Structure 1
Amino acid sequence: MEIKVERLDFEMADISGSRFQKVKAEELNFDNVNMAKTQINNANMRGMALNDVNMSELRISDANLSGTEIKNANFSHAVIDHVHLFGTEFRNVVLPMEGDGNYNPNGVYKPISFINCDLSNSQLTNCNLANMDIRDCDISGLKINGVLVEDLINKK
């Protein structure tokens, strides 16, 4: 089967409901585009760059995000399920500030949850862990500022 090569240039166009199957779509450029409710399945997105995007209610499953760098992203109400994250960095992960779309003046937000995760050999640096609740976790070797948590618990 021969692939048809065609360069498309859309501006001020509505291509909602379009389908792309078995398509080579490398080096695409989307600028000021509404892609709400778009589904991407079985895709190679290695090296993809997303900048200034709203990813609230995003669903990612069965994904390899190894080596991914996530900075200044809005993932409110997102679900990330069964992903490989080794070598991934999350930087400047903060709650919404006044003026942000999801800002709540009462400061009440749904908690961030890690469920059935292997975070062994991970590092948390300069993070606010106030009121964090750790339950039913293997804490062997867990250190906080160089102090083994097991030693603190055993001193009770």
Structure 2
Amino acid sequence: MVEEIKFHERIKTLRVERNMTQQELGDLLGVTSQAVSKWETGIATPDISLLPKISKLFNCTIDSLFFGRVDSTMQSKKTMIREDLEEAKIESSNLRGVVMRDVVMDGAEIFDSRLNGMRIHHGGMANLSLKHLDMDGLTIGFSQMNGAVIHDLGGHTIPIRFAENDFKNCIIDRCDLANAELVNCNLSGLRISGSMLKESWLLQPEPYEPVHIEEVDFRNSVITKSNLNDVHIENCTVEGLIINGVPVGELLASYKMSQAPKR
């Protein structure tokens, strides 16, 4: 589907938000107020050489000027309550310390941005896409994240915490979730691939659908109070693995001995 170009709406909104007249904006850009008026009514668009200057002036991306992908005021807000960011495209944004409550972000995409210390509570984030982010200290709680895709997240020095979230049918791919906490989350149908969960705590309620985990480094992880009935572990390194206080190595050795032919 071709996206609707919204430049005339965006440029007027950005100008009004900053209490600027068309003449003032024109003076800053080296054009006439009549030119700005034509932009805002959709009669004309600025010369391509002006786009970098406009995006810098309004602290937003060039892409967002035409497709309305970024709320230009988002970076300056520290608290966002009951805002609709459904299918928003948030790129190269600094959202450090921002608190979101009761925010709708279904189908939104956040990438190449800083989410350090950000807190999201009671959010609607079905099919959310998170890519290439700095998320030190991010906290998400009581949110619907079913169908979300979390891809290519780097290392973290401050733990990430997920509590009381619905991760049903989510995909976590190529992520470093060291020291992350998932507490009382629905991981039904979750798929984790090519990720690092070293020293993390994975606490979950009883799953309703199989959880698929492959190519994940679980060294020093702790899984507790979970239902592992009928779990299959295949082609994995289990050196040092302990189940209910019993080293798996000893169990395997005993099993091999019991299967050896009797003389």
Considering only aligned residues, what root-mean-square deviation do their CA atoms show, in Å? 3.3
Deviation at 1:80, TM superposition (A): 0.5
Instruction: State the one-letter code of the partner of 1:85.
Output: L
- For residues 52-131 of structure 1, the aligned pairs below 5 Å read 52=122, 53-64=143-154, 66=156, 67-94=159-186, 109-131=208-230
- Which residue of structure 2 aligns with residue 132 of structure 1? 231
Structure number with the higher helix fraction is: 2
TM-score (norm 1): 0.74
Structure 1 residues 48 and 57, CA gap change in structure 2 (3 angstroms): same
Mind listing any 5+ residue stretches in structure 2 that lack a counterpart?
Answer: 1-52, 60-72, 123-142, 189-205, 256-263
> How many Å separate the matches in 2 of 1:135 and 1:20?
40
**Structure 1 alignment gaps of length 5 or more:** 97-106
Tell me the SS of whatever aligns to 1:151: helix
* Contact preservation (8 Å) 1:65, 1:88: no
Scaled by the length of structure 2, the TM-score of the pair is 0.46
Count of aligned residue pairs for this structure pair: 146
Cα deviation, residue 95, structure 1: 6.9
The higher-RCO structure (CA 8 Å, 6+ apart) is: 1
Counterpart-to-counterpart distance in 1, 2:121 and 2:83? 22
Q: Which residue of 2 aligns with 1:143?
A: 242
Residue pair 1:56, 1:76 contacting (<8 A) in 2 also? yes
State the identity %.
Answer: 23
Within the candidate set 107, 117, 124, 1:37 is matched to 107
Q: CA deviation at 1:151?
A: 1.1
Q: SS at the partner of 1:153?
A: helix
**Do 2:84 and 2:104's aligned partners in 1 also have CA atoms closer than 8 Å?**
no
Letter in 1 for 2:252: I
Q: Matched residue of 2:213: which SS?
A: coil
Q: Which residue type is aligned with residue 243 of structure 2?
A: I
Displacement after TM superposition at 1:129 (Å): 1.3
TM-superposed deviation, 1:111: 0.9
Compare 19-28 and 82-91 and name the one that shifted more: 19-28
Q: Residues 109, 65 of structure 1: CA spacing in aligned structure 2 closer, same or farther, 3 A cutoff?
A: farther
CA distance in 2 between counterparts of 1:89 and 1:21 reads 26
Secondary structure in 1 matching 2:109:
coil
